[in-house]
């Protein structure tokens, strides 16, 4: 075999290796580029992994103070609306209710007495008025007789003693008449006073009835029930523990509705529209995809909702890209069985179509 033949074979072999190396390098470069694009989601303008499953979480608090008599739930137990969760000792509240009922009975009795007083005073006034009318008629006659005798005595037609007797009788009748008028005024004052007492009794009666309503309401608060269907959280209370008004007893997660809260950067917001369809991947359920749609876009960034918002006027400003909370509801295409696997706080990956 000649040297020229070997040289041609070597050249072909090296050329082949060179082509393979170039192709391999191209494949490797494209693979790296593709990996970077996928890993950093550079070509996905509406992608975010800053998202979590959300739901209504309601703290159940005590509305009265007292000692816990019984606890009727376990941690993470599923409950239905109206299920009894906690019972607080009600002995004190039953006594308060009985006391309010006694106060109401006393107010009713006082009102009855006042009504009787009004009836008596009104009757006395009526009798006084009748006596006054009778006395007025008699007094008018006696006054006429007195005036007649007064003229007669001047003309010496009657004796002085006769006139004096008529005058004395007239003045006695006038005194009785004035006494009846005074009695009538007293009766009217008594009637007015009794009516005022009746108004006070009505107010006391209303106050006593309100006290009973409040006592019954507080007594009902000794039995704490689930406000709606859901799953309870951790148990942090024990029987015999003293709780105050407003003390948290347990949290309940409402299972009727769950959604995704996704936080998109402000630069992504222009690519998000209400009603847009969404692919949802839950980290804990690898390979499981849910469908959703954009339901609401927050009017403020997440930092503005924080307990201590950042104050850039202090001079320590560092520009940080803000994130906007977006609510994504699950669509009807997701089965209840699949949605039941979701837990509040699970991380999610969101891709808007």
CB atoms within 10 A of CB 18: 10
Statement to judge: residues 204 and 296 lie in one domain: no
Same domain, 245 and 206: no
Which residue, 171, 187, 220, sits at the end of a domain?
220
| Boundary of a domain, candidates 220, 253, 272 | 220
Of all residues in the chain, the percent with pLDDT exceeding 90 is 44
Cβ atoms 350, 48 nearer than 8 A: yes
Provide the terminal-to-terminal Cα distance of the chain, rounded to the nearest Å: 66
Per the domain annotation, does 4 fall within a domain?
no
Indicate the average pLDDT of the chain.
83
Residue 313 resides in a domain: yes
- Segment 260-282 mean pLDDT: 92
**pLDDT of 150 over the 80 cut:** no
Taking 70 as the threshold, does the pLDDT of residue 314 lie above it?
no
Question: Could you say which of 220, 250, 280 is where a domain stops?
Answer: 220
* Count of residues in the chain: 353
Is residue 58 within a helix (H) or strand (E), and if so which, with residue range?
strand 47-61
Residues 348 and 265 in one domain: yes
pLDDT per residue over 231-245, tens digit each?
999 999 999 999 999
What stretch of H or E contains 193? helix 160-220
Confidence band (pLDDT; 50, 70, 90) for 43?
very low
Burial category of 281 from C-beta neighbours within 10 Å (exposed 0-12, middle 13-18, buried 19 and up): middle
Average pLDDT of the segment spanning 265-293: 91
Whether 20 maps to a domain, the answer reads no
- My answer on whether 164 and 181 are in the same domain is yes
Residue 347 belongs to a domain = yes
Q: Is the pLDDT of residue 42 over 50?
A: no
Torsion of CA 28, 32, 34, 37, to 10 degrees: -170
- Are 249 and 335 in the same domain? yes
The verdict on residue 37 lying in a domain is no
**Does residue 100 form part of some domain?**
yes
- In this prediction, residue 1 carries a pLDDT of 45
Q: Is residue 156 part of a domain?
A: yes
Residue 223 tokens, joined = 């039995």
- Rounded to an integer, the average pLDDT of 137-142 is 77
Distance CA(287)–CA(280), nearest Å, equals 10
Rounded CA gap, 308 and 97, in Å? 45
pLDDT category, 33, cuts 50, 70, 90? low
- Please report which confidence band the pLDDT of residue 205 belongs to, taking 50, 70 and 90 as the band edges: confident
- In this structure, the dihedral spanned by the alpha carbons of residues 143, 149, 150 and 151, taken in order and rounded to 10 degrees, is 120
Q: Which of 178-182, 250-254, 302-306, 312-316 has the lowest mean pLDDT?
A: 312-316
- CATH number, domain of 119, equals 1.10.287.620
Identify the domain containing residue 174 by its residue range: 91-220
266 and 247 in a common domain:
yes
Task: State whether 101 and 79 are in the same domain.
Answer: no
Q: Which of 85-89, 285-289, 314-318 has the lowest mean pLDDT?
A: 314-318
In a domain, 15, yes or no: no
Separation CA 341–CA 228 (nearest Å) = 20
- Mean pLDDT value of segment 323-339: 93
The angle formed by the CA atoms of residues 261, 262 and 263, to the nearest 5 degrees, is 120
Gap between the Cα atoms of 220 and 150, Å rounded: 85
Question: Both 80 and 111 in a single domain?
Answer: no
Higher-scoring residue by pLDDT: 49, 10 = 49
How many structural domains comprise the chain? 2
For residues 118 and 216, state if they share a domain: yes
**Are both 273 and 169 inside the same structural domain?**
no
Structure tokens at 265: 């950067």
**Biggest CA pair distance of the chain:** 197
> The CATH number of the domain where 271 resides is what?
2.40.30.170
CB 177 within 8 A of CB 184: no
Res. 79: pLDDT tops 50? yes
Q: Taking a C-beta distance cutoff of 8 angstroms, is the pair 167, 153 a contact?
A: no
Rg (CA), the chain: 48
- The reply to whether 111 and 160 lie within a common domain is yes
Question: Which pLDDT score, from 0 to 100, does residue 81 have?
Answer: 94
Report the percent of the chain where pLDDT is more than 70: 87
Sole residue written with tokens 């609306």: 81
E strand segments, 207-346: 223-225, 230-232, 242-243, 248-265, 277-282, 289-297, 323-330
Confidence of residue 311 (pLDDT cuts 50, 70, 90): low
Question: Which range has the top average pLDDT, 27-36, 96-105, 118-127, 306-315?
Answer: 96-105
Q: Do 166 and 127 lie in a common domain?
A: yes
């Amino acid at each position: 075999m000649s040297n020229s033949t070997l040289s041609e074979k070597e050249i072909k072999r090296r050329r082949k290796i060179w082509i393979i190396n170039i192709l391999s390098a191209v494949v490797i470069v494209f693979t790296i580029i593709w990996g970077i694009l996928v890993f950093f989601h550079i070509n996905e303008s509406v992608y975010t992994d800053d998202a979590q499953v959300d739901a209504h979480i309601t703290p159940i608090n005590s509305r009265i103070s007292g000692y816990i008599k019984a606890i009727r739930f376990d941690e993470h137990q599923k409950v239905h609306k109206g299920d009894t969760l906690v019972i607080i000792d009600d002995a004190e509240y039953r006594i308060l209710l009985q006391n309010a009922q006694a106060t109401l009975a006393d107010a009713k009795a006082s009102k009855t007495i006042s009504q009787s007083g009004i009836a008596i005073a009104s009757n006395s006034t009526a009798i006084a008025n009748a006596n006054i009318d009778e006395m007025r008629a008699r007094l008018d006659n006696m006054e006429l007789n007195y005036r007649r005798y007064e003229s007669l005595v001047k003309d010496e037609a009657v004796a002085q003693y006769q006139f004096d007797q008529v005058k004395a009788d007239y003045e006695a009748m006038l005194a009785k008449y004035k006494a009846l008028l005074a009695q009538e005024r007293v009766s009217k004052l008594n009637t007015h006073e009794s009516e005022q007492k009746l108004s006070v009794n009505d107010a006391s009666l209303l106050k006593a009835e309100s006290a009973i309503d409040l006592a019954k309401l507080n007594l009902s608060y000794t039995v704490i029930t689930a406000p709606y269907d859901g799953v309870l959280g951790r148990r942090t209370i024990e029987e015999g523990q003293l709780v105050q008004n407003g003390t948290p007893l347990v949290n309940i997660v409402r299972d009727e509705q769950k959604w995704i809260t996704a936080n998109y950067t402000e630069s992504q917001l222009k690519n998000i529209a209400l009603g847009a369809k969404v692919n949802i991947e839950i980290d804990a359920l690898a390979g499981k995809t849910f469908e959703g749609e954009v339901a609401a876009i927050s009017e403020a960034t997440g930092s503005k909702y924080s307990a201590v918002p950042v104050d850039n006027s202090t001079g320590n400003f560092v520009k940080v890209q803000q994130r906007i909370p977006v609510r994504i509801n699950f669509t009807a295409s997701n089965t209840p069985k699949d949605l039941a696997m979701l837990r509040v706080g699970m991380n999610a990956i969101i891709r808007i179509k």
